[in-house]
Amino acid sequence: MVSQENKITNQQTSLPALIVALFILGCFAVTVILLSVLAFYNHPSPVDDYCFADTAIRYGYWQAQIYYYNGWSGRFFQNFLVHGGPLTFGWRGGYVVFPIGMLLLLFGSSYYLYRQLTRSQYPARAAALIAGAFMVLYITDLYSVPEFLYWYTGLACYSLSCLFIIMLIGLFIRHDQQTFGLSWPLLLAESLLIVGIIGSSETSMVMVMSFLAMVGLCFILYRRTIPVAWILLMVVAGIACYFLIKAPGNYIRLNGNEGRQEVLASLKSSVRYGVTYLLHQFLKTPLLPLTLLYLPVAYRLSSARSQVQHYFALHPLLSVGYWVAAVLATIFLHFLAVGIPPVMRVQNTTNMIFLLGWFYNVTVALRLVRSSIGSFSLLTQYSWPLVLVATVWGGLSFVTNDNIKTLASDLMSGRARQYDQAMTRRYEILAASRNDTLALDPLPVRPVSLMLEDVRTNPEHLWNRCWANYFDHKAVFLDDLSTNKRQ
């Protein structure tokens, strides 16, 4: 009798499985092409990019980091990156390079994680397809594409930490295959990722510390032991948390938030926001159809023959409880500290926690019902009904997704090209003008995919002063349309 696992293996080369692969490759290609082409029209943002660069140029790279650590933010890893950004070296071309590098890093980190999970069940190309599908889902799920990919300051604060947590989970699986022993290369890599994540933001700190605590709890509950390697990593994490929390600049920055709420009010606001957040996930992204396509993979991962099936043996109340708590924590902390829903760059981080936890819990749930799944269940193979429903539904969700439509519109309408030309013209004017005070024309277009905000009409605004200092002018301001018309 042919085993169920062999039947599923044979299905991997079937026509339905081929259609799934082509569907994922098509969505992946469209997403990557749109984001990569738009990167060639990207420019530094007036929002913070010029301020960090100007500080580093005026005071020196290391002194600028000390200045920010003591005077505004304890995010030491972000400070490390932003003060050495492309603008510090006058390299505006770097704003084309780093978005493409981020895309490569997102795919590479996702591939590494899923390769660790599927190594015993699938060939490398399957891990690449899963990583591509996850990448498409995450991009379509973003609350703000420019804050994740094109804005260097936001990338250094939130985006990289999202990719680092994917890498860290993959490294933990690799490390566990060596009984989580004292493998110094792995410990070094894990320690660097942990320090980078914690040093990026308080939200990232909560994300990685909750993960480390959950891993430790699982060691105790399911293995009745605590590895020395895990203890060492917790020490590293504790030291990094200390330097983040105790930074003098944090007291200044956090005390400036007048909208802070009480704990109970923040909790109520978080729960209400969480409901709308779930509706967004289910209705505005291809999450559900891609979950259908993930079910046969989850079935394989949770099988007795899988070398990673024990990772999905957690009690569902524990796994779901941790996932919900981790997602709510990122929302709750923002309400508590600022008194408003999470800003888009924080929501992008919350999305990463949500998606990783969602697919993990889907696998946990499938493991529980394996015994009741029949030999020809839709959950065990890429049958025609499953593939047709998932690909048609997924295709409609993809082409109607707000992010994909906006990316395509900004590119195909020419707005991205016009924005690039207008910004290039501004640089020429700023470089050529000998006037101390300089008025800039408003941008003719504002592609939502690329830009956040522009400089202001008030020359004393922080962003205006940073622009003026960077280009060696005393004042720069945005001329309004009525002034332009009078001239």
Quick one: residue 339, left, alpha or beta (phi over 0 = left, psi -120 to 50 = alpha)? left
- Going by C-beta distance under 8 Å and a sequence separation of 6 or more, which residues neighbour residue 258? none
**Which contacts qualify for 409-418: CB closer than 8 Å, 24 or more apart?**
410/38, 410/447, 410/448, 410/449, 410/450, 411/34, 411/37, 411/38, 411/449, 415/445, 415/446, 415/447, 416/38, 416/41, 416/447, 416/449, 416/450, 417/41, 418/444, 418/445
Question: Strand 475-478 relative to strand 437-440: parallel, antiparallel, unpaired?
Answer: parallel
Residue 335's pLDDT is what?
85
Residue 14's pLDDT is what?
87
Residue type, 309: Q
Residue 486's pLDDT is what?
34
Residue 9's pLDDT is what?
44
Residue 256's pLDDT is what?
59
Report d(CA 369, CA 372) in Å as an integer.
Answer: 5
Structure tokens at 40: 């060639």
457 with 480: CB under 8 angstroms? yes
Q: Which of 3, 27, 21, 6 is nearest to 401 (CA)?
A: 27
88 with 65: CB under 8 angstroms? no
Q: Which of 207, 203, 212 is nearest to 235 (CA)?
A: 212
Structure tokens at 251: 């007291």
4 with 292: CB under 8 angstroms? no
Per-position pLDDT tens, the chain of length 487:
334 444 444 444 589 999 999 999 999 999 999 999 999 999 999 999 999 999 999 999 999 999 999 988 889 999 999 999 999 999 999 999 999 999 999 999 999 999 999 998 899 999 999 999 999 999 999 999 999 999 999 999 999 999 999 999 999 999 999 899 999 999 999 999 999 999 999 899 999 999 999 999 999 999 999 999 999 999 999 999 999 999 887 777 666 566 566 888 888 889 999 999 999 999 999 999 999 999 999 999 988 888 999 999 999 999 999 999 999 999 998 888 777 888 999 999 999 999 999 999 999 999 988 877 765 577 778 989 999 999 999 999 999 999 999 999 999 999 999 999 999 999 999 988 888 999 999 999 999 999 999 999 999 999 999 999 999 999 999 987 534 443 3
Q: Largest alpha-carbon pair distance within the chain? A: 87
175 with 186: CB under 8 angstroms? yes
| Residues β-bridged to residue 99 | none
What burial class does residue 276 get, using C-beta atoms within 10 Å of its C-beta: 0-12 exposed, 13-18 middle, 19+ buried? exposed
